[in-house]
Amino acid sequence: MNHLLTVEQLSSGEIADILKLAKEFKKGRGKPRQKQPLKGQTWALIFNKASTRTRVSFEVGIGELGGTSLCLSTNDIQMGRGETVADTARTLSRYIHGIVIRTYAQRDIEQFARAGTIPVINALTDDEHPCQILADLLTVVEKLGTLKGKKVVFFGDGACNVCNSWLFGAAKTGMEMWVAAPKKFQPGAEWVKRAAGNIHVTENVNEAAKNADVLYTDVWVSMGKEAEATERLKVLAPYQVNASVLKQAKPGALVMHCLPAYVGKEITADVFDANLKTIFDQAENRLHAQKAIMALLAKHR
């Protein structure tokens, strides 16, 4: 593993390695003699979209692994004024040891990875959010003991980055995945085909939720889609995670949300509040999963 650009490019074995190491980092956090695989290294973060969890957990994680982090917004660097992604990659590769990028186009991080000589981590693009799904898988395995055979249902914008990464994450870990979404916001047929898993796409919320082990949702208006907000809020309203949907699921089913949450929209306040523990464990797990990702990338350089 030289980069983390997508879940699609990860093997099942690599996912297992990341989850195993993430559990070790979680267990050992704050204890003496923690491994510091980024000691003496500087990692940069480029954020071209807003972030709370990803940015803070990466900065904290880099520090805990012994490294130094620097956060750049695209407006601070010449890339914001037209310098190419490739030249930015060539330049930064002379100074730093790894980079974390949140942006719009997947092709930009791929181009960065090709032109540069340092590990690149996708911190969210319009296509995928791999760090999120690795933390989610860690959360499910912690709480349900295993991934294989568990039924996860994604409600709402099934054509978004988080759902795309989930298609691959579920397929590669042997989970059964359902997407409950209106036609316009279902995952593209090409994505489902590429994921090649036990994947079902439906407009029927109750059919999808039946006997589910995990109910998952994300915002209805992803970053960059603000102009479509009115239409999205209307069309996605029937795909809310609420008490009626939850009733169809297995007793004790996990309710997960990648956050930020818009309570009252994709999830009701009662369901969100009753599942705070899972949802914020999930947020915490971003830190542990990303430390594992960086440690493995640093090792394979």
Say if residues 180 and 235 touch (Cβ distance below 8 Å). Answer: no
Q: Which does 52 bind (CB under 5 to 8 A by kind): ligand CP, ligand NVA, none?
A: ligand CP
Backbone φ and ψ for 109, nearest 5 degrees, come out as -75, -30
Map the footprint of ligand NVA across residues 243-272, applying CB under 6 A.
258
Q: Which of 41, 103, 122, 222 binds ligand NVA (CB under 6 A)?
A: 222
Query: Distance between CA 10 and CA 2 in Å, rounded?
Result: 11
Catalytic site residue 94? no
> How many positions of this chain bind ligand NVA (CB under 6 A)?
9
Say if residues 261 and 275 touch (Cβ distance below 8 Å). Answer: no
Which is catalytic among the residues 53, 108, 218, 232? Answer: 218
The residue (of 90 and 225) whose beta carbon lies closer to ligand CP is 225
Which is catalytic among the residues 97, 232, 286, 288? Answer: 286
Q: Which of 5, 85, 140, 219 binds ligand NVA (CB under 6 A)?
A: 219
Catalytic site residue 102? yes
Residue 47 in tokens = 């954020």
Say if residues 18 and 43 touch (Cβ distance below 8 Å). Answer: no
Catalytic site residue 71? no
Verify binding: residue 223, ligand NVA, rule CB under 6 A. Answer: yes
Strand partners, 43: 69, 98
Verify binding: residue 161, ligand CP, rule CB under 6 A. Answer: no
Instruction: Give DSSP secondary structure letters for 144-195.
Output: HS--TT-EEEEES-TTSHHHHHHHHHHHHHT-EEEEE--GGGSPPHHHHHHH
Q: Which of 1, 86, 144, 259 binds ligand CP (CB under 6 A)?
A: 259
Cβ-based neighbour number of residue 203 at 10 Å: 14
Half-sphere exposure of 24 (CA within 13 A, CB side): 16
Q: Strand ranges (DSSP E) for the chain?
A: 42-47, 68-73, 98-102, 120-122, 151-155, 176-180, 198-202, 214-217, 254-257
The residue (of 69 and 176) whose beta carbon lies closer to ligand CP is 69
The residue (of 124 and 295) whose beta carbon lies closer to ligand NVA is 124
Q: Which does 160 bind (CB under 5 to 8 A by kind): ligand CP, ligand NVA, none?
A: ligand NVA
Q: Applying CB under 6 A, which part among 25-33, 206-214, 257-265, 272-280 lies near ligand CP? A: 257-265
Verify binding: residue 161, ligand NVA, rule CB under 6 A. Answer: yes
Which is catalytic among the residues 53, 102, 257, 288? Answer: 102
The residue ranges that bind ligand NVA (CB under 6 A) are 124, 160-162, 218-219, 222-223, 258
The residue ranges that bind ligand CP (CB under 6 A) are 51-54, 124, 132, 258-260
